[in-house]
Structures are given as structure tokens and as C-alpha cells.
Structure 1
Amino acid sequence: MTRRWCLWQTPAVPATVAATTAWENWARTASASPAGVVRPRDEAALADQVARAAAEGLRVRARGAGHSFTPVAVTDGLQVDLEHLAGLEAVERRQDGTARVTVLAGTRLYHLHHLLGARGLAMTNLGDIDRQTIAGAISTGTHGTGLRHGGLATQVCGVRVVLPDGTVRAVSVDDAPGSPERELFEVARLGLGTVGVLSAVTLEVVPAFWLRCRERPERLDAFLEDPDAYAASADHAELYWFPGTRSILTIRNDRLTPDDAARWGTERSGLKGRVRLLGQEVRGLVDDEVIANGLFEVANRLATAAPGLTAGINRVSARALAARERVAPSYQLFCHKRRVRFREQEYAVPRAAVGDVVRELAAWHRRTGEPVPFPVEVRFAPSDDVWLSTARDRDTAYVAVHQYVRMQYRRWFDAAEAIFVAADGRPHWGKLHRRTAADLAHHYPLDDVARVRRTVDPGGVFANAYSDTVLGAAT
């Protein structure tokens, strides 16, 4: 039995149009001075604004929360802010507890957690942060970790997309393979916003679940001996390595059965359980806010002022790591607060190559002593069939390098990128890299992507310099 709930609908009011407004992304790596900014309050207003801009010869780019490090949202034309197109539009439940939910495109992930949780639902996997809009997250290939759980785009089963003439097209995974509708869906669900502005996204979601998180410090060498074994040691495994040390922080998240989650909830409802829970919450606050953000900011400022101290800072940070275990709703453990501002480059490499990649990063850092106070992150993903997914057609490991926003990052990122490219890596679409369409053509069906773009957007209304660089000019 399928039930459809129409939960709410935004009233039809005119879009809010702003004059030229300077824009900068979160990492301060991209900025724009668009001709105008529009904040439509419903889908009809969005369609009208897009059509007007196209008729006036303006290019159009949607902007989300600004958490992409690349200039994916930059334009000198019209920038569309979807902040008012937010909320849960509809739910279609199935007997097995799963559901399809339709979410307005500007919904922030941290808001979506609660909208789904109130209905006993959750996304099956999430990335490290949840500040993004759902449209921005899927369009740039946001992913989490787990050998059986793909990126956010793999959870998308339908979209509504506004085309240059203001037409709203609904396309989905249910459209016939090879049909124009299905091909538009493939590029709309992960395509850097190059076929239109998303107004709504339909997701496959699952019954809400809890995770058991085990964090513990370990030795880098133990991971390098058998990366596959580590990746398979939990439902969602990841790790952080501190450059200049042989120490890693391992994080293993395992999905609890409903009975286990209920049992844990019962245990914490008693007096001893409440005391233990309070202790965990206090420690979590100290670890996540004081150490992971407050003290980490101080450490990075110190490294900026005195780069020669960076190696010592990393050794102290590594020694300060301690084991801990937590149980909580999935989104609370998948996602983290990241208040320390940084730049990031991330590549998807074949899973079999991840050990060698990390070894080479460590060797380069050992030779150069480059000051890098931020840890390197390693995650995992299964192969998928999304056209522009960085995990397309191969089991994948993601390796991300970071640098504090006040520190020089180019030497570290260039060296890392050379190692990633040699391993046949693919850059994350929303993180810093120097690759071009010519480099990436053997990884993706870029000719098919260009054909779809030419069909729905022959004038290149939704293109910008970044999309032309990485996907090629479609016109």
C-alpha cells in the first residue's frame, strides 16, 4: 500500500530580486559579482526569473550554501538563491518502511534530518557536514563512506528542473533507459547545475536508524598493511592521518538493528543510563567543540605564525587522541560541525591503490617537511552507475588533503594532485583541483553529457567558466 502525503505548499508570491551583490564561498576560494540575485519564493517564480534572464541574454547559476571550494556557482549573470524553496513536499511510503520523499531544492541537509526524523525516516548515508542545500550537495557529488552505501546522488530517484524557457521538467530513474527524460535525469542529479535549476529532489530514504560509533587512535602502518580489511571493518569506516606522524584516528560507524537501538534507549532511560548519557554528552561537547574546533583553531593559528612548529603540533595532537564510543541517531554521527575554516582537495582513487597513495603522500611530506596542521581524510564507496559520479564503475577510496585557510596550500595540493593523478584519480567536483575536460574524458561519458546539455540548453544559459573547463563547452 502506498500513501502520499502532501505536507505543505509555499504560497505564490513574487520573487525577491536584489541588485548586484558581491558573493564569496565559505572557503574564500571563489567570488562573484553577478548582475543580480533572485530569491524565488516558489517554483513558478523561479521559472519566471530563469526565463526572463535567458531572454535577456544572461547566464544563470544556482548557488547553494557556498560550501563548494570550486567556482561552480560563479557567474556575472543571474545568481539564484533557493533559500525560500525549502521543506518537505511529499512522502510516498512503502510497506517495508522505506519511502520516496520529495524535498524542495533549497532545503538544508541539517533541516532535512529533522523533517525526515519526525516521520521515522532517514537518508541512508551522508557526508561529513550538513550545511549544504540538497540541490548543491547532489549536484557536486557529495558522498559519505561505506562499502555498501553510495554518495548522495545514488539516493536520488527523481528531480524537477527548470529549463531556459521556464519549462519545469520532472524526470526520474523510472523513465525508460536511453530516453531523453532518463538522460536528462542522469545529468540533472549530478551535473554541476548545467542542465537547469533544480526546484525539487525526490530521494529514496530508509527507516530511521541509529549508529554505534567507535573512535580509537591506531598506527598508520596497521591500516597500510591491509586497507581493504579496514574498509570492511565497519558499515561506515573512515580515518584521519596526521602528517608528520605515524598516527591515525580510526572511526567505525555500525548500523544498529531496531532491537539494539531500542535496548540502548531503554538502558539510558534509567538513572544510571541518564548519568552515563550526561557524561557522554559532556565529553562529546568537549571533544567536538573545545578540542575539534576551539583548540584546533588555536593550533592552526600557531602553525600559521610559526610554521616550524607544525610537526610538533601534529605530534601533540596525535598523542592527545583517545578512544571513545557513542550511540546516536545516524545523522548525528555521520555529520560534524566544522568551524575551523580550511581549503580542501579530494580525489577518488581505485580502492586497490589507496595504500600506495597514502604511502606516497607520507613520503613527500617526510622529504619536504611542508607545514600541514590539518589531517588527511580517507573514506570509501562502492561502485555506482551515475554518469558523473567519482565512483562510477569502480570501487573507490577517497583521499582528501586540507590546509588551514590562513596558510599557503598550493605546494601541498599540487604534490598531492600529482600523486592522485598517477593513481588514475578523479577530482571531487566541488573541491580544489586543476583538471580539465580533456583530462577527464576517459573517466566519464562527457560526449553524452554535452549532447544532453545542447538539447536542453543550446544557448549555454546554465554554463560558466568552471563547467566549461571540467565538462567542456556544450554549445
Structure 2
Amino acid sequence: MSQTTAAATWTNWGGTARCTPTELITPQSVDELADAVRTAAASGQTVKPAGAGHSFSQIAVAPGIQVKLSGLRGLISVDADRKRVTLGAGTHLHEIPAILEPLGLGMANLGDIDKQTLAGATSTGTHGTGGAFGGISTQIRGVTLVDGTGTVRVIGEDDPDLKAAALGLGSLGVLTQITIQCVDAFSIRAEEGPGEADETFSTFLERVENVDHYEFYWFPHTTKTLVKTNTRVPRDTPATGPSDLRRYIDDELLSNKLLGALCKVGARSPRTVPSINQVVGRALSARTYTDRSDRIFISDRDVRFREMEYAVPLEAVPDTLREIRAMIDRRGHKVSFPIEVRAAAADDLMLSTASDRASGYIAVHRFSGDDVAASEAYFRDVEDIMMSHAGRPHWGKMHTRDADYLRSVYPRFDEFLEVRNRFDPQRVFTNPYLQTALGS
């Protein structure tokens, strides 16, 4: 039976969005959810699922009824012949490896955080990196959702509406089931090491073309980068590399605890940030290790931050980075967090940031304890550069773009709006973010 409670104030992980819904419901079945949506529509209320709260934008803000999908999670069915699984939409990404491992399957690609729900990650366009691989939404082969009339819609891979529903911003309905195209389980050989910024920028396109999963981090105020080269290898490849203790020291103590401490110092005294980054850049070291794919893709992120990420045409990445570097120097921003750079293949989803073009992703961050006005100024300056390259903002990360701009960079934008008009004519699933981004 669906649980309905008075809702407390909800805040996302990054502290960039909050709301106090009128009520919180936790449906235990699709029928219960459909009843709740019909009731809300009849009374003029809005409905919004919140996922795990790992979006930095306002996309999950629920002015009306907030939906928690924890009652709709886990494995629903397996199609072994086609290597597909159907999962409850409230399943968290970190729960999926344990489901797939006994089946000899894995997800084709993942981002570097696994705290999100499957519905939240795919609805906002969460992605990893790899020039031949798309975001998680491109792995979807079917969904079930409750639309704005309370109708349960089953959308299969041959239904053209799937190109909207696989990455729908939560604007078409509440997802309840998602069918994922998996691959045979595989491992990854990870090679990490320091690089020089000019060379790393210049060779980005070549490395994306020749490496399965390539990404790097550039430390502002330095010439240093951390380069990550991930190569797919057979699943039975023995795990190698640093011990569990060594990886704990590197990934938890150095990447999280030490980073957090240094960011706090920089927040209190911004003038020290360039010097701190120089020390961090010089301390980078190389390591190589092999493990199951999800264990390589995923990294712990304990230090709270705010994030903006844009997708630009792949070939524009080197010049865009050089412009950001020059802007930071010119404007005097003090940026303690590294800039993350990744890539993805073109896809055919209507609102994917890689829709109809191979894309490079440039993510900029500010520590949550940094001065808010300074952080916002930095994001505005970065956003100006991104727009000059026809950039598309990640739907789940901070940006200020509206429907007029988004229509200019998404060739299928109005086609998506037509689907939305059919699925949610009363705008039961709207909120202020969607009103701005989609225009109504």
C-alpha cells in the first residue's frame, strides 16, 4: 500500500536546490502510483519524483507532491538471449552490479558516481566517457511510465516515443520500469598518471579516438593534468594493481579527505588556491590497475561541490579549454576544484546532450564552502564560453539556459515538446525548472 506522509524540506546533495513538497508518497506498485497521479491531476496538483537528489540543477524540485520510488526497485525480468534486464526505475545504480554479476552481464558504460536512481540518472542524461559509447540513456530498450492522465504506458524499442522517454527530464511521466541493453561482463585496465596541460589539450581528440574510455582532469592555476586511460579487457582478466589499503589511501584519504581539507583552506583564503593547486599538481603520480568494470568506472565523491557541465562539439574541446584557462587568468577566479573533460558518441535521443553530434564534456566545479557570489561569477563566465560553442548544458547540473536558447542547439527540441503535449497535456509533472527549460 502506498505510503503518504507530510513532507519535510528536501535538499539535494550539492545544496543547490531545496523545496518543501505538499506531501510525500512512496508507491509500492504501478497501480498505486497511477491512482495518485490521477487524483493529483483532478485536483490541479503537480507531481515530481526526486530520485537520489544528485542533480545540481532545480530539475527535481517538487512544489506539489513528491514521489519516492524506493518501492519500485530491483530486478523485474531477464531476457538472457538478448542480454537485457528490466529493472524497477527506483533501483540505484550501485545496486545494479550485484544484479548483473550472476548473469554474466555488465552495463556498457557508466558515469563516475553511482548514488543516483536509474530513473534519475537516465532522465537527466548521466554519462560516462568513451568516443564509441553513449550515455546511460542510450542503453534503454524500453520503459514503462505513468503519464499525466494516470495512464500506464509501455513504450518498446520500436516505438518512436522512446527517443523522448529514454531521456525525458521527468516531464513526460513517472518512470516505473526500465529495460536496459547489457553486454557481456568485462573488466578494465586503468592507467592513471600526470600530464602537461598543453599536450593533454592538444592530444584530446586523438586519444578519444584510440582509447576505449578516456578522460582527464586539469587543475586550474597549474600546467598539470591527471590523465585516465581505461581499456576494456575480458572479465576473467586477473585483478591487479594497488592493494585495497593503497586504493583506500589514494581514493579516500587523498582524493576525498585531503581534497576536502585543502578546499576548506582555499575557501577561507582564496589567494592561497593557486599555490595549493600547484602543490597538488606536483604530487600526482602514476598507477595501473585492473578490476571489474563498474569498480573502475565509479569513484567515491565525498567532498560536496557545485557543478556545471556543458557538452560541446567534440572537435571544439581543445579550443574551449584554452578559452576557459585564459578567462580564469583574466578574470582572477580562484578555483580549487579540477576541471573534468570527457567524451561521448553521437546518439539519436531527442534531448540527449550528444544528440546528432559526437560530444566533448567539460565539467567545472566549485567547492560548496566557496563564496557563493564568486562561484556564480565563475559559472557565468564559463557558460558564456560554452554558449559561443553551441554548448548544451547537462540537464542535471547548474545552468541558466531557457527554451529559446535550447531550441537553437537541439534539432529535435520541438519534436520533444509534441511528445510532451501528448503525455502530459495538463503539465502535471511541471516545475519552475521545466517551465524555463521547455518554455511552458
Q: Please give the TM-score of this superposition, normalised by the length of structure 2.
A: 0.97
- 1:328 aligns with 291
Tell me, in whole angstroms, the C-alpha distance in 1 between the residues paired with 2:311 and 2:99: 31
Tell me, in whole angstroms, the C-alpha distance in 2 between the residues paired with 1:438 and 1:163: 26
Give the letter for the 1:173 counterpart: E
Which deviations, in whole Å up to 9, do the C-alpha atoms of 1:329-388 show, x marking residues without a partner? 000111111000000000000111101111011111122331110000000011111100
- 1:28 aligns with 15
Tell me, in whole angstroms, the C-alpha distance in 2 between the residues paired with 1:311 and 1:145: 28
Q: CA offset at residue 52 of structure 1?
A: 1.5
- 1:418 aligns with 384
* Contact map agreement 2:131 2:212 (CA 8 A) in 1: yes
Q: CA offset at residue 137 of structure 1?
A: 0.3
- 1:198 aligns with 175
Tell me, in whole angstroms, the C-alpha distance in 1 between the residues paired with 2:258 and 2:351: 38
Give the letter for the 2:107 counterpart: M
Aligned pair 1:115/2:82, yes or no? no
What percentage of aligned pairs have identical amino acids?
42
Q: CA offset at residue 300 of structure 1?
A: 0.4
- 2:134 aligns with 150
Aligned pair 1:135/2:102, yes or no? no
- 2:43 aligns with 56
- 1:225 aligns with 202
Identify the range of structure 1 (223-232 vs 166-175) with the bigger mean alpha-carbon deviation.
Answer: 223-232
Structure 1 gap segments, 5+ residues each: 1-13, 176-181, 269-276
- 1:467 aligns with 434
Tell me, in whole angstroms, the C-alpha distance in 1 between the residues paired with 2:291 and 2:8: 41
Give the letter for the 2:53 counterpart: G
The residue matched to 2:103 in structure 1 has which SS? coil
Which deviations, in whole Å up to 9, do the C-alpha atoms of 1:304-332 show, x marking residues without a partner? 11111100110111111100011010001
The structure with the largest alpha-carbon Rg is: 1
Aligned pair 1:174/2:158, yes or no? yes
Identify the range of structure 1 (118-127 vs 285-294) with the bigger mean alpha-carbon deviation.
Answer: 118-127
Q: How does 1:367-406 map to 2 (within 5 A)?
A: 367-406=330-369
The residue matched to 2:409 in structure 1 has which SS? coil
Tell me, in whole angstroms, the C-alpha distance in 2 between the residues paired with 1:436 and 1:110: 33
* Contact map agreement 1:140 1:430 (CA 8 A) in 2: yes
- 2:166 aligns with 189
* Contact map agreement 2:21 2:66 (CA 8 A) in 1: yes
- 1:10 aligns with none
- 1:443 aligns with 409
Q: CA offset at residue 232 of structure 1?
A: 2.5
Structure 2 gap segments, 5+ residues each: none
- 2:213 aligns with 236
The residue matched to 1:441 in structure 2 has which SS? helix
Q: CA offset at residue 280 of structure 1?
A: 2.5
Tell me, in whole angstroms, the C-alpha distance in 2 between the residues paired with 1:314 and 1:32: 35
Tell me, in whole angstroms, the C-alpha distance in 1 between the residues paired with 2:88 and 2:27: 12
- 2:260 aligns with 297
> Pick from 6, 28, 31: which aligns with 1:44?
31
The residue matched to 1:415 in structure 2 has which SS? helix
* Contact map agreement 2:49 2:62 (CA 8 A) in 1: no
Which deviations, in whole Å up to 9, do the C-alpha atoms of 1:430-458 show, x marking residues without a partner? 10001111001122222222211111211
The residue matched to 1:442 in structure 2 has which SS? helix
The residue matched to 1:295 in structure 2 has which SS? helix
Q: CA offset at residue 257 of structure 1?
A: 2.8
- 1:251 aligns with 228
Q: How does 1:257-336 map to 2 (within 5 A)?
A: 257-258=234-235, 261-262=236-237, 264=238, 279-336=242-299
- Deviation above 3 Å: which 4+ runs of structure 1? none
Aligned pair 1:87/2:74, yes or no? yes
* Contact map agreement 2:50 2:62 (CA 8 A) in 1: no
Tell me, in whole angstroms, the C-alpha distance in 2 between the residues paired with 1:129 and 1:114: 16
* Contact map agreement 1:244 1:369 (CA 8 A) in 2: no
Tell me, in whole angstroms, the C-alpha distance in 1 between the residues paired with 2:15 and 2:102: 35
Tell me, in whole angstroms, the C-alpha distance in 2 between the residues paired with 1:225 and 1:304: 32
Tell me, in whole angstroms, the C-alpha distance in 2 between the residues paired with 1:242 and 1:165: 49
Aligned pair 1:433/2:433, yes or no? no
Q: Please give the TM-score of this superposition, normalised by the length of structure 1.
A: 0.90
- 1:9 aligns with none
* Contact map agreement 1:233 1:252 (CA 8 A) in 2: no
Which deviations, in whole Å up to 9, do the C-alpha atoms of 1:385-441 show, x marking residues without a partner? 110000011111000000000113111111111111111111000100011110011
- 1:456 aligns with 423
Tell me, in whole angstroms, the C-alpha distance in 2 between the residues paired with 1:103 and 1:442: 35
Tell me, in whole angstroms, the C-alpha distance in 1 between the residues paired with 2:332 and 2:419: 47
Identify the range of structure 1 (363-372 vs 344-353) with the bigger mean alpha-carbon deviation.
Answer: 363-372
The residue matched to 2:84 in structure 1 has which SS? strand
The residue matched to 1:256 in structure 2 has which SS? strand
Tell me, in whole angstroms, the C-alpha distance in 1 between the residues paired with 2:191 and 2:62: 43
Give the letter for the 1:347 counterpart: Y
Equivalent pairs counted in the alignment come to 436
